Structure 1
């Protein structure tokens, strides 16, 4: 049993290291400043720790522990820099690709949020799409494509949602993803969704999801025939070269 646990821990550690290497390779191919930023993030805390020990003239045992702390902090900073730069590169590469919005929404799993990666509506000609999701903050309609066309389509979807939420004050939040004045940039979509105020209890959210599932099953205005929503799939793993 102990040997199996050691083997599993070793495999997990190797998998984590391999994952970090893949993320670094993916990011550095697009971000030429990455090696210097990571090196700076790792080295700076070590220099600070060494300088503090030298100035304070601490005991050699304290020196050792302080240097170990400096190395750990440096590795933490280096990992944080890699993660943030990888996200920026990933978002930049995903922008403009059909289905990118669904990939970002599908990755939001905290606080009861639920966003299927498949859109509820797609224009077969323009590939404009709408995703519907829920959270304790309300119902979300998130559009990808031309602002005017998407907003008109979301208004139709909003009317259908109001039929099943009639009599309640459940907010319906409409967001259009893009670089326009009234749109939400792809890299700010997750924060925009999650910063809304909580309006529903867990019980109310479960009831809402049940009504929306019934609506989707009865709807004749879903994804048009001839459009395969699975082909709009953009895995967020691709953001980090996984």
Structure 2
């Protein structure tokens, strides 16, 4: 029983992840198989070309260089597919409730701490406010219509300024209106913020904010979304 349960707890294998990544990306980019084939063929041709160019020219040398080119082509195809999968993910989650939380919790790296759960939410309209803390200070991210986010954003900004006096607070809105940040550019925008606090101050700020934050687990807002299973919102 223990062996079965431990096997069930294991995540998907490497090839299973590759297959899922390929399927997900192909849904957005139908020409993906042709791109992969092209990259692999170019890799093989490049390897064979090197085999002919480096003396002494021998069949075994050409074959070895061809295999090397094949491996490099596979690696290049995998890297290109991974890059395209990120583009496909941002396209799919754009405009969905919880998209900002997903990006904050998965794309900021170790220099920032954030959660996929909102720190403020309007249960009726599903507008939500998220927060990230890092070397650039405190970042408040509003997701939804700006007009309905004003109160939530102001409350979170006042809370941050009250418990972390002197720490810069940056407010960003995710959307497509003027001055909004696109969901695909959210993590890059936050990472570009200049360093304003050291690690000890960052840890203290995180602790203070956690002590005054309310638990929002019971509110009807997604804590995060799975881009592989995400569905676009129905038009209202």
Residue 174 of structure 2 corresponds to: 177
Q: Which residue number corresponds to residue 19 of structure 1?
A: 17
Cα-Cα RMSD:
2.6
Q: Distance in 2 between matches of 1:175 and 1:42?
A: 41
Higher helix share: 1
Q: Is 2:228 the counterpart of 1:228?
A: no
Distance 1:37 1:148 in 2: 44
Between the two proteins, the alignment pairs up a number of residues equal to 221
Structure 2 unaligned regions, length at least 5? 1-6, 231-236
* Corresponding residue to 1:213 among 196, 210, 227: 210
| Unaligned 5+ runs, structure 1 | 1-7
Residue 185 (structure 2) aligns with: 188
Q: 2: CA distance between counterparts of 1:82 and 1:22?
A: 11
Q: Following the alignment from structure 1 to structure 2, what is the Cα–Cα distance between the partners of residues 180 and 81?
A: 30
Scaled by the length of structure 2, the TM-score of the pair is 0.83
Structure-to-structure mapping, 1:3-82, within 5 angstroms: 15-56=13-54, 58-60=56-58, 61-82=60-81
8 A contact 1:27–1:89 mirrored in 2 = yes
TM-score for both structures, normalised by structure 1 = 0.81
Is 1:164–1:212's contact at 8 Å kept on the other side of the alignment?
yes
**2:100 touches 2:183 (CA, 8 Å); kept in 1?**
yes
Superposed displacement of residue 226, structure 1: 7.5
Asked whether the 8 Å contact 2:90–2:184 carries over to 1, the reply is yes
Change (3 A) 1:226 1:214: closer
Structure 1 segments of 4+ aligned residues over 3 angstroms from their partners: 55-59, 236-239
8 Å contact from structure 1 (residues 124, 226) kept in 2: no
